[in-house]
Structure 1
Amino acid sequence: MDLKIFRQLILVLCTTFSVFCSAQKNDLGAWYMYFGSNKISKKFNFHNEIQYRNFNGIGNLEQLLIRTGIGYDVTENNNNILLGYGFILSQPYINGEKSENTEHRIFQQFITKQSFGRFNLQHRYRLEERFLQDDFRMRFRYFLGFNIPITNKQMLPKTLYLSAYNEIFLNLDSPVFDRNRVYGALGFIINKNLRIEAGYMNQIQENKNRGQIQIGFYNNIPFTGN
Structure 2
Amino acid sequence: MKILKSLAVSVFIFGTSMVQAQKNDLGAWYMYFGNNKISKKLNLHNEIQYRNFDAIGDLEQLLIRTGIGYDLTENNNNILLGYGFILSQPYLNGEKTENIEHRIFQQYITKQKFGRFNIQHRYRLEERFLEDDFRMRFRYLLGFNIPLNNKELTPKTFYASAYNEIFLHFDSPVFDRNRVYGALGYVINKNMRIEAGYMNQLQENKNRGQIQIGFYNNIPFTKN
With the length of structure 2 as denominator, give the TM-score of the two structures. 0.99
Name the structure 2 match of 1:70.
68
Percent identity between the aligned chains? Answer: 79
Q: Which runs of 4+ in 1 moved over 2 A?
A: none
1:204 Cα deviation from its structure 2 partner: 0.2
Name the structure 2 match of 1:51.
49
Name the structure 1 match of 2:125.
127
1:144 alignment partner, one of 142, 165, 177: 142
User: What do you get for the CA RMSD once the two structures are aligned?
Assistant: 0.6
1:14 Cα deviation from its structure 2 partner: 1.0
Letter in 2 for 1:185: A
1:142-197 superposed Cα distances (whole Å, 9 cap, x missing partner)? 00000000010011011000000000000001100000000000000000000000
1:193-224 superposed Cα distances (whole Å, 9 cap, x missing partner)? 00000000000000000000000000000000
Name the structure 1 match of 2:6.
8
1:9 Cα deviation from its structure 2 partner: 2.6
Name the structure 1 match of 2:24.
26
Name the structure 2 match of 1:117.
115
1:6 Cα deviation from its structure 2 partner: 3.4
Distance 1:16 1:175 in 2: 36
Please state if 1:198 is matched with 2:179: no
Distance 2:7 2:80 in 1: 35
1:10 Cα deviation from its structure 2 partner: 2.0
Letter in 1 for 2:153: M
1:91-124 superposed Cα distances (whole Å, 9 cap, x missing partner)? 0000000000000000000000000000000000
Paired residues, what number?
Answer: 224
Distance 2:92 2:50 in 1: 20
With the length of structure 1 as denominator, give the TM-score of the two structures. 0.98
Name the structure 2 match of 1:222.
220
Structure 1's unaligned 5+ residue stretches are none
1:82 alignment partner, one of 80, 83, 108: 80
Distance 2:187 2:196 in 1: 12
1:19 Cα deviation from its structure 2 partner: 1.7
1:67 Cα deviation from its structure 2 partner: 0.2
SS in 2 for 1:133: coil
Farther off after superposition, 39-48 or 17-26: 17-26
Distance 1:137 1:148 in 2: 36
Structure 2's unaligned 5+ residue stretches are none
